[in-house]
Each structure stands twice: as structure tokens, then as C-alpha cells.
Structure 1
Amino acid sequence: MTKPICFIGARGGSKGVPRKNIRLLAGKPLIAYAIESSIKSNIFSHVVVSTEDKEIARIAEKFGAEVPFLRPKKLATSSAGMAEVIIHGLKKLFSMGYDFDTFVSRDCTVPFIRNKDVAGSIRLLNQKKCNAVFGVYRQHLNPYFNMMELDSSGFLKLVKEKGKRPASRQTAPIVYQLNGLFTYKTEKFFKYGKPLLPNALPYEIPAETGLMIDTEFEFQLAEMIVKKKILKLD
């Protein structure tokens, strides 16, 4: 069995936090955390970054990633789907002679994913009859209990209603938050051509390691975590 590859997508544009993927987090570009962690794990045959941005490519290579191609700019817009980005990347890699039947898609805006959870997701994928394994954590914001949306008249209603509203969050159905860890069987990804494959299993991780940086506040929070060494990142 061939080793899996790690696939990291990182475009140059970012609306929430400008140039987020290469902004310094405690003195190191954000993307470097995912790259260095993945290389250190010895899980992967290759750690590959897909980007259209030459500066991101240069920084990714500096920290040890491979950037064997530049992504077309049409796949680097805010409207471009991750499925198209991954399919393009996988096809390019196969055309270049890369050999793998499993891959892990890591989001570089989720810098604290632990390698033991990456390895666990791969192990689960190989042990169970499933197409993919998604890193998740249990979410305290619950659509059955405390998440609301507007109805057609502009009034608040629960996102999901299941008869009587649960008496407490603890008694509501369990829901999961996706984060930046997606482990796939390559043939199944090509078959369905979308990130959320059917017959996917959850792999629970600690909520704090799934912090996703989409806002300035989350960036500051991540910086505090690194500087104060709140998490053990190995």
C-alpha cells in the first residue's frame, strides 16, 4: 500500500483576513504550521501545496512543501469550489507520476490539527467500509436548540425543529463541526467529485485543535495559543 499524500490548498485572496495564508502567526507564516506538522508526521509520501500565488508558492517551498504546479487563476477566486481545486490538483499530480490511493486535505487556516488525529483518521478510513473520514468536534451551538434563522416573514425560528424543543442543549441531538481535516479514498473522491462524500465517518478531535481562522479575532486567538503554549501541537 502506497503512503497517502497531504494536499493543502492555499489561494492568495482572503476577504476575512487579508493575505491570511502567509500572514505571520507568532513569527511564522500561517501555512507553515500545516506544512511542517505534516512533514514531521512521516505519514505522507508528499506534502503538496496548490496555489496560484507565487509568493505563497515560494514560502511553501521554503518550509518544505512541494509546489509542482501553479493553480489556474480561475480556480483561485472566492467562487471557486474546493472540489474543483482538488480534482485539478490530483489530476496534475497523477500526470506527473505521483502514486497514491489515499489523500488528506488539510486546510492551512486550521493550524493546530494533531498528527495523531491525522493518523487516526487514516486508520479509520482503512479499517471501515467508508468513502471518507472527516475530522470533527461536537458543537455546542445546536440547530435543534440554540441556532436560529429567519422564516419567510422575517421572524426567528429554530434551524431544525424536531417536535418539542429539547429541554437543554445536552439533551438535543449531537451535531458536529467540520474543520480542516478531510481524509479520502482517491477513487471515491473522483467518483463523487465533491468534498462531502456519502458514507463518510466522523473522527472526533478536541475542539481547541480544530480552531479555524476566518476572522481577525480568531487570528489573535491563535496567536495567543501559540505564544502562551496553551496547546501541545505534536
Structure 2
Amino acid sequence: MNSILAIITARGGSKRIPRKNIKDFCGIPIISYPINTALDSKLFQNVMVSTDDLEIKRISENFGAEVPFLRSSKNSDDFATTADVILEVLETYEKQFGRKFEYACCIYPTSPLLKKDLLAKALELLETKNADSVFPIIRYSSPIQRALIENADGFIEMIQPENRQVRSQDLHPAFFDAGQFYFLNVNTFMIKRKLWTERSIGLEISDLEAQDIDNESDWKIAELKYKLLYSK
């Protein structure tokens, strides 16, 4: 059996939504959703939370996650990247516990819409395609080749005017990162130290299945999506 680690990244600081990672979402702390999804998936030998915050540690442990060590102050500020945090976790597991993992899945704490089946599909792709990473993506609803900008004079113009008369169906679809998780091959991640590379695979999901949560309006939209998906 492959050794697989789930890493849920949840620092204490949050400027736009205070205490965002443990704020109640449909009645329970939002971080409990990815913890439960990771545990229910049965994919991971360990489900851990990387945090610098004792309250987040306590809540995470109450919902079944491990918090075997606290995140360093260096990787708890606004400038630390997700890759920095993952690297610290993997290196600490090896140094403190002699544990090495073949795969790791970094899951964001504000991913209440994430489904365990998607994690399983991502792992399958990672293994069968020998990819560096797999992560969910969402298709742009309109062709980005027809994107508009406002010029210096305040008038609207196309970024790629050569696509003005091209039919939408003839333009290559484009996607954006859904911002839920990254399933990683640990060996290649330790070398390249990137969440996605030239050997990464996108797993397409609908825009109903994910929601960026950066403000209170986003939060309400995410709760509405959750109720639509899980009303049963």
C-alpha cells in the first residue's frame, strides 16, 4: 500500500474574514468539512493539519485530525507559500518521526464542497499517468480569448482582437485552478518544489462544486452551493 499523507493548511491569521478557517459554516467549523472528507475517503494513512494556532489545533483534533507539531512562524505569515508549508510538513515528519510518504495531498481548510470521490479520482490519475500533481480545475464560462480591457483613455478594447470574429466553439477552452487541493508525487515535489509543473493534470469540475471564499458574499454563496449539493 502506498504511504499517503493529507495536509490541511490552516494558519491562524486571516484579514478579510477573521478566524476564517474555524468560522461556522452551516453550523460547524468550516475546517471540519475537509477533515471529514479526507478521513471518510480512506485514502490516507495520516490526516494532519498544519497550523500555528492552538484553537485551530484543538478544533482539528476534536474532528479527528492529527496536529503532531505546530507550523513555524516563518511559514505562518502572509508571504509563505503553500509549497513552503508542504515542504516544512514533509521534512518535519522525516526528521521527527522518520516517516516518508510516496504521495501527499494538500487540502485547503475552506473547501467544504470537496467530495471524497474527487480525491480518489485524483489519486488514480496521479498513479496511472505518472504525473507530478493532480488538482481540480473549472472551465471559464466565456472564452478568455475574447477578454476585454480598459485602455489608458478609458475605452474598452480586446486583448486579442484577432479573435473578434472567431466562433466560440472554435476557441480552445480555458480553465482556472479551483483552489481545493493538490495531490502530489512527493519525490518530484521535493525536487521541483512546485504545486504544478509541465507534468500536472487538471481534473475538471463544475463551478457548483467549488467556491473561492475571500469575503462574506463568497461565504454566503458557498453555503448556498453546499445546501444545493447536500440538501438530501
TM-score normalised to the size of structure 1? Answer: 0.89
Which amino acid counterpart does residue 221 of structure 1 have in structure 2?
A: I
Q: Deviations along 1:95-128, whole A, 9 cap, x unmatched?
A: 2133420111111112111111110010011111
1:169 to partner: Cα distance: 4.7
The 5 Å alignment of 1:189-208 reads 189-208=189-208
1:154 to partner: Cα distance: 7.3
RMSD of aligned Cα (Å): 2.3
* SS in structure 2 at match of 1:231: helix
Contact 1:3 1:43 in 2 (8 A): no
Match of 1:115 in 2: 116
Match of 2:93 in 1: 93
1:158 to partner: Cα distance: 4.4
Which amino acid counterpart does residue 64 of structure 1 have in structure 2?
A: G
Which amino acid counterpart does residue 79 of structure 2 have in structure 1?
A: S
Q: Deviations along 1:154-212, whole A, 9 cap, x unmatched?
A: 765545x3733364555432111212121110011111112222210111122211212
Contact 1:113 1:210 in 2 (8 A): yes
Q: Identical aligned pairs, as a percentage?
A: 31
Match of 1:174 in 2: 173
State the distance in 2 between where 1:149 and 1:53 align: 41
Q: Give the direction of change, closer, same or farther, for the CA distance of 1:214–1:187 in structure 2 (3 Å limit).
A: same
Contact 1:189 1:197 in 2 (8 A): no
The 5 Å alignment of 1:130-149 reads 130-146=131-147, 148-149=148-149
Unaligned stretches of 5+ in structure 2?
none
The total of aligned residue pairs comes to 230
Contact 1:16 1:215 in 2 (8 A): yes
Q: Give the direction of change, closer, same or farther, for the CA distance of 1:40–1:78 in structure 2 (3 Å limit).
A: same
Contact 2:208 2:225 in 1 (8 A): no
Q: Give the direction of change, closer, same or farther, for the CA distance of 1:131–1:166 in structure 2 (3 Å limit).
A: farther
TM-score normalised to the size of structure 2? Answer: 0.89
* SS in structure 2 at match of 1:140: coil
State the distance in 1 between where 2:175 and 2:34 align: 22
Contact 1:109 1:214 in 2 (8 A): no
Match of 1:129 in 2: 130
Contact 1:102 1:186 in 2 (8 A): yes
Which amino acid counterpart does residue 24 of structure 1 have in structure 2?
A: D
